[in-house]
Amino acid sequence: QVQLVQSGSELKKPGASVKVSCKASGYTFTSYAMNWVRQAPGQGLEWMGWINTNTGNPTYAQGFTGRFVFSLDTSVSTAYLQISSLKAEDTAVYYCARGYVDSYGHHDAFDIWGQGTMVTVSS
């Protein structure tokens, strides 16, 4: 079945880096964009941006530039989120979510979500 499976929870110290993976299965990976969404503890959903799985071109939302990098390995149908110079405020659950983007750049809703990866930043 169509699914996104993310890597497991991470505990990191401030200043370290983390790389979260999101492996797709059950569909053609390059037919859909991959979005990343953050949810801080007890808070709502925040869209971080998306990556074009055909071109590898990422688009970052404001507040997610510089330390955040989206990447792909299409040979294994996997998207990645890397966060560097981690801060305590990066503590959150990070979700990947599939969404269709048409040739005009119009997005669609996010129909498939990964299970989430909890990243905890603490000394």
Tell me how far, at minimum, the Cβ of 59 lies from other proteins, in Å: 7
What are the two backbone dihedrals, phi and then psi, of residue 76, each rounded to the nearest 5 degrees? -125, 20
17 versus 57: smaller Cβ distance to other proteins: 57
37 versus 81: smaller Cβ distance to other proteins: 37
Q: What span, in angstroms and rounded, lies between the C-alpha atoms of 22 and 7?
A: 7
17 versus 107: smaller Cβ distance to other proteins: 107
Residues that bind other proteins (CB under 8 A): 35, 37, 44-47, 49, 59, 61-62, 95, 97, 99, 107-111, 113-116
Q: What is the dihedral of CA 52, 108, 36, 39, to 10 degrees?
A: 170
Tell me how far, at minimum, the Cβ of 106 lies from other proteins, in Å: 8
Q: Is 31 helix (H, G, I), strand (E, B) or coil?
A: helix
Tell me how far, at minimum, the Cβ of 14 lies from other proteins, in Å: 26
Specify the DSSP class assigned to residue 75.
G
- What type of residue is 3? Q
Pairing, β 107-113 against β 92-101: antiparallel
42 versus 123: smaller Cβ distance to other proteins: 42
Tell me how far, at minimum, the Cβ of 111 lies from other proteins, in Å: 5
